Chains A and B, each alone.
Chain A
Amino acid sequence: MSDETYPGDLRYHPEHDWARVDGDVATFGVTWFAQDALGEVVYYDPPAVGDTVTAGSSYGELESVKAVSDIIAPASGEVVEVNGAVSDTPELVNGDPYGEGWLIKVRVSDPAELDALMDEPAYRAYLAGLNG
């Protein structure tokens, strides 16, 4: 398990997904909060390269021994790469949710969707609201 962190260079979706933007391609994953709530991830069911994902909709599933969690796309676009390492070693999502535990890379179709996401301080405030 990793320590609770929320990197400042990411954009955050309220369903606890993050996006790292690099030109017109964004990397998606789930936040520390999401992996902690789910527990040890034991299965990752990814989309296929070429699939279209839609902001706010599920593009895959992460499963712990006890539960299934939909993974929500923070932005829309076409899947250009899937992290096969997480399929083979799902607990990477727990150990390194922002690094080796990334899930897919997407060619973003509407960059404005990324602008609408939360930055780190806003996401932290959002989490604090959930706990209170």
Chain B
Amino acid sequence: MTELQRTSLYDAHVAAGAKIVPFAGWEMPVEYEGVRAEHLAVRSTCGLFDVSHMGQIDVTGPGSREFLQSILTNDITRIGPGQAQYTLLPDDDGGVIDDLLAYALLDRILLVVNASNIAPCVERVTSLAPAGVTVVNRSPEVAMLALQGPTWAKALTPIASPEPFSLPYMEATEATVAGVPCLVARTGYTGEPGVEIMCPAEAAPAIWDALMAVPDAPVPAGLAARDTLRLEMGYPLYGNELGRDRSPISAGLKWACDLKHGGFPGAERMQREAEDGTPDRLVGIVLTEKGIPRGGCAVMADGQQVGTVTSGTLSPSLGVGAALAYVSPDHAHVGAKLSIDVRGKQKSAEVTSLPMVDTSPRKEHHS
């Protein structure tokens, strides 16, 4: 077993009373005061997450954009300087190596990838890169904080310049936060408006402390709340909803696959699946009685298994058991009556629309 890594904010987490757990090779805060309070704070005010475990890969050199266009699923030519795009890195069979955000910056294209997939992403991109394109893994030196929730701008105002409030959703800008030069992006994984702040690792504690000291300070929020927030939105999590064993199409990510132009690995399979359908599809499910579905639980209809839960929890916003699951197309429509086998007990459930909560990360700042 390799030594677990700590982010530069480890001491701040311990000081804030975090419960620390191993996650993707890191010692990360899973919760502070409690996942429900943190979750609800992000939905109603704002929360601050340490996501420094995530990976940052710089792609530079002439032809970088054309190269990435040939290996990523989304149409990267659609984003201009400062814009970010959700995309996928497929393997040769159209399975998913990772889902990621690509940022078109002035001097480079920045790929922000999942912590558990830094090595496979670096290896894949490097192995395919043509002469002149340079791939650099900057993950060890970059920290990342996610300030998420409707009052994010109030928290950031006193310590940021220029004020990044007019930044549109899915755009990034350079800014100074607590005296630290940062890349501030209107992105996130919670469904709430907010920003993600990338900075030199050693400077992250200064930003964390400054945010915690403003009058409208965010609540420190851990990985557990990050997971319940994304689940309510229906955002897939790599390793649960995404993996090498399926293409993005059954996960409902056709919108992030540029099938019109194609040309990337697995495009033909994805095109075929988009036309013919897939054996199962990702849906959101809520229990209509008490109970909590968990990953691996069978989804049942008329006594037959019709799918499998990939992520399950108690939704803090709805107060009911909630899941993401792959189910057969016959049962994938909103309102479909199902049951979930929770350790031998059949819990009645139904397919729900996604997101499960009424929110949007696109909301602009008004105050």
Contacts and interface: CB of A to CB of B under 8 A. Distances in A.
Interface of A: 1, 39-40, 42-43, 45, 61, 63-66, 68
Nearest to A36: B19
B36 A42 contact: yes
Contact of B30 (A42, A63, A66): A66
Contact of A63 (B36, B224, B292): B292
Nearest to B21: A66
Nearest to B291: A43
B35 interface: yes
Nearest to B17: A1
Given A40-B31, A40-B34, A42-B292, 5 more contacts: A39-B19, A39-B31, A40-B35, A42-B314, A66-B313
Contacts of B269: none
B35 A66 contact: yes
A61 B292 CA distance: 11
B292 A40 contact: no
B224 A65 contact: yes
Interface residues of B, number: 18
A65 B292 CA distance: 8
5 contacts: A43-B292, A65-B36, A66-B35, A68-B294, A68-B343
Contacts of A42: 36, 292, 314
Nearest to B35: A65
Nearest to A37: B19
Interface in B221-276: 224, 227-228
B291 A65 contact: no
B79 to A, nearest CB: 35
A87 to B, nearest CB: 8
A16 B286 CA distance: 32
Interface in B75-90: none
A63 B35 contact: no
A102 B31 CA distance: 25
A1 B35 CA distance: 13
- Per CB-CB distance, the 8 closest pairs between chain A and chain B, nearest first, are A40-B34, A65-B35, A42-B314, A63-B292, A43-B292, A66-B224, A65-B313, A65-B314
A125 B35 CA distance: 31
Contacts of B227: 66
Contacts of B314: 42-43, 63, 65
